[in-house]
Amino acid sequence: MAGTYDRLQEKIDDKRKEGGITALDLADLPPALREIMRLMLRQLQMSYPQLCEAMDTLPQEEQLMRANLDDALQQLSDQAWLIQIGKGERAIYKVNLRRKAGSKLGESIWQTLDAKLKSSPGS
Give the residue extent of every domain in the chain: 9-119
Residue 15 binned pLDDT confidence (cut-offs 50, 70, 90): low
Give the Cα separation of 55 and 50 in Å (integer).
8
What pLDDT digit, counting tens, does each position of 85-118 carry? 998 889 999 988 765 455 555 667 777 777 877 8
Contact predicate 48/93, CB 8 Å = yes
Highest mean predicted confidence (pLDDT) among 31-35, 66-70, 85-89, 108-112: 66-70
CATH number for the domain whose boundaries are 9-119: 1.10.10.10
Residue 21 bridge partners (DSSP): 97
CB 68 within 8 Å of CB 4: no
